[in-house]
Each structure stands twice: as C-alpha cells, then as structure tokens.
Amino acid sequence: MEGKYQPDRIEQKWQRLWEKNKSFQATEASPLPKYYLLEMFPYPSGKIHMGHVRNYSIGDVIARYKRMRGYNVLHPMGWDAFGLPAENAAIERGIHPAKWILENVTNMRQQLKRMGFSYDWAREFATCDEAYYRWEQLFFIKMFKRGLAYKKLSTVNWCDKCQTVLANEQVEGGHCWRCEQEVGVREINQWFFRITAYAEELLQECDRLPGWPERVLTMQRNWIGKSFGAEIQFPFVDREGKLTVFTTRQDTIYGATFASLAVEHPLALELSQGTSQETRVREFVERIKKINQARRGTDELEKEGLFTGSYCINPFTQEKIPIYLANFVLMEYGTGVVMGVPAHDQRDFEFARKYGLPIRVVIQPDGKMLDGERMTEAYLDEGVMASSGPFTGLPSEAGRGKVVAYLEEKGWGKQSISYRLRDWGISRQRYWGTPIPILYCDSCGSVPVPEEELPVVLPKNVELTGEGSSPLARLPEFFKAKCPKCGGPARRDTDTMDTFVESSWYFARYASPDEDRAPFDKPRVDYWLPVDQYVGGIEHAVLHLLYARFFTKALRDMGWLELSEPFTNLLTQGMVIKDGAKMSKSKGNVVDPDFLIERYGADTSRLFSLFAAPPEKDLDWSDQGVEGANRFLNRLWRFVFQHRDALLHSTSDPSKTELPPELKELRRQIHRTIKKVTDDIEGRYHFNTAIASVMELYNALSLVARDELVQEEAGALVKNGLETIVVLLYPFVPHMASELWENLGHQEGLERVRWPEYSAEALQEEELLIVVQVDGRVRGRITVPADAGEKFIEEMALADPKVGDFIRGKDIRRVVQVPRRLVNIVLGS
RNA sequence: GCGAGAGUGGCGGAAUGGCAGACGCACUAGACUUAGGAUCUAGCGGGCAACCGUGGGGGUUCGAAUCCCCCCUCUCGCACCA
C-alpha cells in the first residue's frame, strides 16, 4: 500500500478484516470489567446524515479507546423503526412501510459499516421486529395490571382531514404539519402511562446523576416542575360541598376576592344550573373548549371569564366571593381551580380589572405602601403580610408555613405538592406501530390479551391511503376477537403505541437480543446494564431521556431489571450547522456523508467531525476544514513511507539511550502527548484538543526527522514517536492507524494493542522556563534548574537585564512566586 | 416572562486564577515546478512605537478570558403551572 494515500482501499481492507475476525463482538464471558457504550439509535429514514456521522464518530472513539484500556466493551446498534415518517413515506410512494424501512436499514447499515464504526452487529435489531415488540406488549399488560397503564377520556389535538391525534410537536402554528388543516381538539379515549407515579423519584434521582450535563438535569427538573403549596377548601354558598384550590401563595389568602375554574372542570356547568347564567356559561364553555391547547398557550390570548352564578366562602375572611370560569385556568394542573388574588398575581390582576373585582393588597413590600386602587400591575415578590388577621406583620415566606399549619388545624385544607409533569398519552390512531394488546368486551370492559397469546401481530396485508381512520380499524380479521374472560364477542384495540415506547427500553434489549422466552436474559442484562456512557443529541433532553428513566424504574418494580437509572453518563452532542442553520433538507444546506466518504474516506470524515469542535458544542461545517483534516492524514502517510526503511532498521531502545537535550525534549513531548490525549478523552471528551496535541507531536517529529534522522538514537526516538502517534490516533482514524501500524512492522492488529502509558520519568524536566513579571506584566523569562529554590529563582529574576530596566531605582514591595511557572515582582507605588 | 448556556484574531476553536490566541483553516511571501487548487519553508490580533487587546461597565487579587456585581447581545428549553 505504498505511494499515495488511498482511503478507499485501506478502509475496506480493514473493515473486511474486522468483520471476518468478529473483532467487536461482545461476550459476557470475560475477566475484564464491562463497559456499555451506547449512541442513540437512528430512525431509518433513508440515509445517514452528518448528525449521525458526528454522533457515531464520538461514540466510536470512546468504544475503541475503552477496549484499548482493557474494558470488555458492548457497543451495539439498531433501528428505531416504527413511526409516522415510515407510514407517510409509504403512503406517498405506495410501498409498504415494512419494505421501505427494510430498504433504508439495509442502506444505512452499509453506510455505518463504511464509516468503520466498531459495532457488535450480531446484536442488531429493529423495533418493528415482532421478536422485539412482543415484549413491549407484555410490559403494557403488566403495567395495565399494576395500574401503570390506564385509559381515560382526554382532550387532544385532532386533525379532521388526517383523522388522527397529533402530538403537540406535530402542530405548527395551529395547523397540521402534514395537510395544513387547522387543528382542532377532540375528546377521545386514550391509553396513558402513569409516569406521574414516578414524578418524585424521577426528580430526586436527578441529584444522583453526576455524569449528566447540568443543562439536561435542569430541563428535566423544570419539566417535572414540583411546586410546594397548599390545598384550600372554599365552602359553597347555597349548596353542599366545597371548592378545592391549589396555591403556592397561601400567604395571600386574605386577598382572594374570587375563584376561577377551568372550563373543563366537572363543576363548570353544574355551578350555573338554576342561575340566570346557565345559558351563557354553556356557550362560554363550548367556545373556549374549541380553541386547541397549543393555541391557547402560544397566542397572547386575552384573559377572559364568565361568572357562574355561584358563590363560595373564603374561609379566612368569611367573605362571600364569586366563582368564575376563566380561559387561562388549566384543568391539568393543580385542582383545576384557582383562587383569584388580583393584587399579587398578574393574571388575576388583569382579570379583576376587566370584571371589576376588588383588588386587595395583603403583601406590602419593604418601605412602600401599595394601594389596590392605584396599582398598575400585580406585586409578586415577597413582603410583609398585611390586612391578614392574625398573620398581619409576618414576613410572607414564614407566613406560608403558618397559614398551612392553621389550615390543617382548622380542617380547611392541607399542605400539598403539585407537579407539572403529566401522564404520558401513548395511543396513536396510526398503523405503523406496536398494537396495543387490549380487547374490549361489552360485558367485561377492557381486557388484556392473555400473555400466552402474545404477540398481537401487526398485520401486513393492509391498504394505506392516508385517508380516514387507521387501516387496522377497517380490518375485521384483525379487530374481531373473542373476550378471553367471558368468551363473548370482543373488539381489539386498533390504536398503536407512541414510538417513544420502543426507545424507552431498547438499551436493555441489546444485552440479550436473542432471548426468545423473555424480554431479557436476566444474567446478561444484569451484567451489562446500566449503560456506562450514552451519547446523543440534546433534542432528546426531556422526552426520550425522561421516558427511558421512567421505563427503567417501572421495569425494576415489575422485577425485570435491578437498576433504577439506565444511563450513568450522558454526553449530549451539539448540532451540525452550515451557513448559520442546522443542516436540513428544507433549508437545502445538507452535506451528504456518502459524498464525503467517496471523496475523502471515512477517516477524514471522522477526523473532521471530531476535530472541528468539542462534542457538546454545535459544529460549524467547513469544506476547508475537511480539506485540512485530509491534509493532515496525507502528511502523516507520506512521512511514514518516506522514512519507513530507516525506521524499520532502528532497533535501539530510545528509553535506554542517553540523549542530547533536544531529543530529550522530543521524548518529553511524546510522553506529554500521551498524557494530554489520555486526559482529554478520559476526563472530558475533548477530542479536538486531543487531536491538536497529536498534530503538535507530529510537527515536532517532522522537524527532528528533517535534520537528524541520520543518527541512530534519533531514528529510534522518531520511530517511538511515530508509533505513539499511530496508537493515539487509532480511536479517531482506525483504518489509517491500522495500516500505518502494519507498515511499521507490527503483526498484531491495533484493536488488540493496549493504550500507551506515559512515563513520569520521561516527563521530568531538567530546566524550567520561568516567566518574570513586574507588576503583573511579563518583562522577561529565565531558565533555571528544575530543583532550584525560591531564593535562587528570585535572585535570577532580579538579575535579568530586561527585568532590570523596569525595576531600576524602584522599591520592591514583594515578590510572588508560583512554583515552576512564574515570578511576579511587585513594586512600591 | 421564567430557566439554562454562550459571547476570545478574518473563521472553527485553545488557555478554568499565572506568557491570551495552542491546533487547524483562510491569507501573504518564498522554494520546487511546464503548471499548481499538490508539496515544502517562513510569516500571520491591532499599533511605527510606548502600548492596546477576550461583548460593555465596575469590583476582588501581586496577577482576571477565567472569580464576584450590574448591563448588552445571541442560542436553546419551558411558556397563562396558580
């Protein structure tokens, strides 16, 4: 393989060899410590994009590095194959989603192999495999039996034209992302996973994930949204019962001058019955309900409400206050009822102004007296409780605790905690997904499919038109069934599960993908889990990563897993940007990895995506940057072949020889580079600086080689340096490194070579360069023996002629020394 | 609005309290060459200089890109959460 660097030839050569030797197949029978590395699996949408190249290059560096460090590494790959895009593509092209997915998988698998990623392909699976989703159906049934899966009527985004529920992400500006029809709302029966049952644990364990980026943890904490407050009961006037509100500001209770309900609240209509407001309330509820939730949030919707005709009593003031309906009150949060405190809540303030309700100041800020009549906006901050009966004069923060204690004593309410997190709606009125294994019987209700009858196979013989309901609902041989309980006629659920369900447990399946009697082979799953390092895009910071955490806990409680958290360490890589925007087809700024590989090879593509930016930052695409990466590999290639003969013949041990100073420095740099690259990979995944330091070593080496290769000891050292470069580069550019390694006379493949250790002895410096500052400005540099004492260094510094110019005739107030680095001479004023 | 992150040469970025700009790109000059968009060599923040330079202003420190306070700009997430 001499002569020109031809990536195509060498890359395929090594890829074939690795495949033949099964170099990356993981086994559980190993004395080495295990290391499970996982990158988020791709959606097989056609071909890989630069985001994949980046994601999987990052992962592959870690995988190969960890193997060299003596770990038993599991590094699997699979396909997130169910979901809307496949179904839509199938409708557009008139081919079955299964076929489309299979073609894409075949193509993308080939592309990933062409990149030289070190996956254990023996563990590959797709989530649309019956052998995979059958276990998901089992989980569903177990969750149903535990009350973790339940069905309820709920309000969803609904597209009339597509006849399906749309997730919030699929609603763009109030319109369907597919057909641009205005999205409406609909109440339908849907299955939910009770993720809220784990809200507290999910929140608590955020504190026990030190290997996760703070940013992601913050997003998860915010998403869960725990609030401390109180539930307070307001007895009705003229009727039985009480209205329960949730508030975090019970210290403002004396300022509550009205109450407001969400229009979805069960009492909304009831409260107006028999009052003069009855008709108007009915109209109002109908009208507000029609505005879909996405729109209700995004638009700056004006506060609007309507009096129900009923009153309740503020238990603290004993005052009769009106009950309103309000368009800004959410049924999903708290109790769906809010106490209106206009002086201390901006929404209530606007509402009160509009409907002429009293604004009563009950929190006074320091050094000011607010007046409800003259306020222009609500006062939200802390202060001192005012006009608040026995609580008057208390700081508002302390007041909250006192009010709760009082509430509980009087039996008017209790301390309460509310979460923003809502249960996970998983029903999709779509074909391409895991069928929900439930039957409906007129006399027995919702009945799970008996476990021994699983899987409920997704039928293939369907016609996809994109019109009307799911094809499953039009397939009697699918939905017609017998009730397992009473034997009577039953109807199968024709919805499928959200695809996020599949990705919530796939990482566990890789441990034993061949297990066909259970979802997991316990010994193997216990051996491999948790994932030691997970790598993926920041866009999954909440959804996927939260669902996967939830699922792990649920599977633990059902006895399948032993662990509580699936991913010990998380690395979220940034996006690939070109011309100031994320690469996307719609923006027309994509770079096709195929083109890159064809033109420069896999190693260059990998090297560029790793060198251009640290992993967690966005990567700015640059054609010249790719050229630069390619040039470096070419230089290295040429260097090796230019000097190969000389190098092969230099046999002396560079560590044994007494070297001249400049070669000693080179040796030091070799070991410094080993340390730097190791620290950069190990400690912080800064591959860009790791690569930079290897480049520096190469530069130093080529400088020495130019002048001194003739000498025997220099030759040995250059060879040692070059081999170090090749080994250090292996995780980044495995093909090139392997090829050079072989050409340097090594029989054993690099995938079996151990990572080099640096020698502390070699790092020892005999002389140190000390920077001399005067009043914090660099004025000179001195070279001193490494073991020089402070006093000696100070004398040398003061004696330096350049320094002398600045201190002559001045008072020296003090001299500060930083060992081994710097002296700062501080002059008197 | 709330929360998080970021702001350093012409560009990507390096330096996490101690020589700002490592490494790479672009650029300039030279060498080799029929040729060079290949390769090699040298230079490359601004300023003639003293000096000035890490979004702006203040502070802590012998010393600040780095720590603290205020402000500005950008990116991302959440967004009527009571």
> Is residue A2's pLDDT more than 70?
no
The protein residue nearest nucleotide B41, judged by CA to C1', is: A703
Indicate if CB(A330) is under 7 A from strand B. Answer: yes
Indicate if CB(A805) is under 7 A from strand B. Answer: no
> Is residue A515's pLDDT more than 70?
yes
Q: What is the pLDDT of residue A382?
A: 87
> Is residue A300's pLDDT more than 80?
no
Q: What is the pLDDT of residue A171?
A: 66
**Across A453-478, average pLDDT:** 87
A336 CA: nearest nucleotide by C1' = B82
Q: What is the pLDDT of residue A173?
A: 59
Q: b vs e for A379-392, b when ≥16 Cβ sit within 10 Å of the residue's Cβ?
A: beeebbbbebeebe
Backbone angles phi, psi at A482, to 5 degrees: -105, 140
What are A193-235's pLDDT values in tens digits?
A: 999 999 999 999 998 998 998 889 988 998 899 999 999 999 9
DSSP class per residue in A741-760: HHHTT--S-GGGSPPPPPPH
A777 CA: nearest nucleotide by C1' = B63
Contacts of A820 (CB under 8 A, 6+ apart): A768, A770, A786
Indicate if CB(A635) is under 7 A from strand B. Answer: yes
**Across A388-411, average pLDDT:** 94
Say which DSSP state A459 is in: P
Report which listed range, A163-177, A605-619, A770-784, is most confident: A605-619
Residue that wins the pLDDT comparison between A257 and A215: A257
Indicate if CB(A244) is under 7 A from strand B. Answer: no
The pLDDT mean for chain A works out to: 90
**Across A349-369, average pLDDT:** 91
**CA A707 – C1' B32 distance (Å)?**
19
CB-CB neighbours of A240 under 10 Å: 6
Whether A400 and A406 have beta carbons less than 8 Å apart is answered as no
**CA A580 – C1' B55 distance (Å)?**
20
Q: How far is CA A237 from the centre of its chain?
A: 50
What are A98-117's pLDDT values in tens digits?
A: 999 999 999 999 999 999 99
The protein residue nearest nucleotide B1, judged by CA to C1', is: A346
Q: What is the pLDDT of residue A710?
A: 54
**Across A721-750, average pLDDT:** 95
What are A141-164's pLDDT values in tens digits?
A: 999 999 999 999 887 878 777 777
Nearest to A732 by CA among A664, A821, A632, A594: A632
Indicate if CB(A826) is under 7 A from strand B. Answer: yes
Reported pTM: 0.92
What are A12-45's pLDDT values in tens digits?
A: 999 999 999 999 999 999 999 999 999 999 999 9
What is the Cα–Cα distance from A728 to A672, expressed in whole angstroms? 12
Nearest to A403 by CA among A176, A230, A640, A148: A230
**Across A240-244, average pLDDT:** 94
Q: How far is CA A540 from the centre of its chain?
A: 4
pLDDT band at residue A654, thresholds of 50, 70 and 90?
A: low
Measure Cα distances from A659 to A656, A715, A781 in Å. Answer: 9, 12, 25
Q: What is the pLDDT of residue A1?
A: 46
What are A309-352's pLDDT values in tens digits?
A: 999 999 999 999 999 999 999 888 999 999 999 999 999 999 99
Q: What is the pLDDT of residue A657?
A: 62
Q: What is the pLDDT of residue A296?
A: 55
Indicate if CB(A229) is under 7 A from strand B. Answer: yes
Angle at A211 between CA A207 and CA A217, to 5 degrees: 50
pLDDT band at residue A586, thresholds of 50, 70 and 90?
A: confident
Q: Which of residues 639-678 of A touch strand B (CB under 7 A)?
A: none
A627 CA: nearest nucleotide by C1' = B25
Indicate if CB(A106) is under 7 A from strand B. Answer: no
**CA A683 – C1' B62 distance (Å)?**
32
**CA A451 – C1' B64 distance (Å)?**
66
Indicate if CB(A334) is under 7 A from strand B. Answer: yes
Contacts of A179 (CB under 8 A, 6+ apart): A159, A161, A162
What is the Cα–Cα distance from A531 to A548, expressed in whole angstroms? 12
